[in-house]
Structure 1
Amino acid sequence: MALHFLDFDYSEAEDGVATWDAIASVPEARRQELAQEVHSILAWAWTEFGALHGPHEEGGLWQYDLQCERRGQPLQELRYDGACGELVPALQAGSDGRVTLTLSISGLPAFAEAFAAHFGLF
């Protein structure tokens, strides 16, 4: 699957945990497209590995952090609700008409290999 907004940087820890970090900033007119791209990533991860979501230190295979930044407002944490298939809360633009998202997703080797292969990140 081709990604249009999120350009991931890759790193790998000594313990084998792979991490991809991305940031994207778009005008209001492209907000829904960005939200859909993030949704597609997290929906895939949830469908393929949802039962194994959680901190690596607690036995989880993968985890993510999703933050929304809007001018003049504090960072807002977003989450993917696997039950209803939506980002919660809904993505909103700031007073300057832009929305900036940061997504960090990490996983152990089984998740990392599948994630990189699916999204063409190798």
Structure 2
Amino acid sequence: MTLHFLDFDYSEDEEGTGTWDAMASVPTDRLPELLAEITALLDWAHTEFGALRGPVETGGLWDYDLQCERDGLPLLALGFDIHERQIHPRPQSQPQAWVTLTLSLSGGPAFAAAFVDRFGAT
């Protein structure tokens, strides 16, 4: 899958846990496209590693954090509903405003190898 909005920065800790951080800022009318890209990525992660989601330090193989910033509104935590395959809550914003989403993914070596193979993000 080619990513159009998300450009990840990669870091790794001394235990080999990889972290990918991306930030994308779009006008409100492009938000559905950005959400679709994030949805596809999180759907892949849940399909491949879902049962093993959680902090690596407590035995999880992968985890994520998704946040939304909107002009003049407080920071909003977002989540992926695995049953509906959608991001919730759906961010709302005023027309002509910009919305910024930040996504952080982390995972151990198995997740990292699969992520790089699928998305080419290193």
CA distance 1:68–1:18, shift in 2 (3 Å): same
Q: SS at 1:93's partner residue?
A: coil
Aligned equivalent of 2:24 = 24
Q: Distance in 2 between matches of 1:30 and 1:120?
A: 23
Over residues 3-46 of structure 1, what are the superposed CA-to-partner deviations in whole Å (9 max), with x where a residue is unaligned? 00011000010010000000000011211000000001100000
Q: Distance in 2 between matches of 1:8 and 1:93?
A: 25
Q: TM-score, normalised by structure 2?
A: 0.95
Q: SS at 1:110's partner residue?
A: helix
Aligned equivalent of 1:116 = 116
Q: Distance in 2 between matches of 1:81 and 1:11?
A: 27
Point out where structure 1 has 5 or more consecutive residues left out of the alignment. Answer: none
Q: Distance in 1 between matches of 2:117 and 2:84?
A: 26
Point out where structure 2 has 5 or more consecutive residues left out of the alignment. Answer: none
Number of residue-to-residue matches in the alignment: 122
Q: Percent identity?
A: 58
Q: TM-score, normalised by structure 1?
A: 0.95
The reply to whether residue 81 of structure 1 matches residue 81 of structure 2 is yes
TM alignment of 1:1-122, pairs within 5 A: 1-94=1-94, 97-122=97-122
Q: Which runs of 4+ in 1 moved over 4 A?
A: none
Over residues 41-66 of structure 1, what are the superposed CA-to-partner deviations in whole Å (9 max), with x where a residue is unaligned? 10000011000001112110000000
Q: SS at 1:105's partner residue?
A: strand
CA distance 1:97–1:45, shift in 2 (3 Å): same
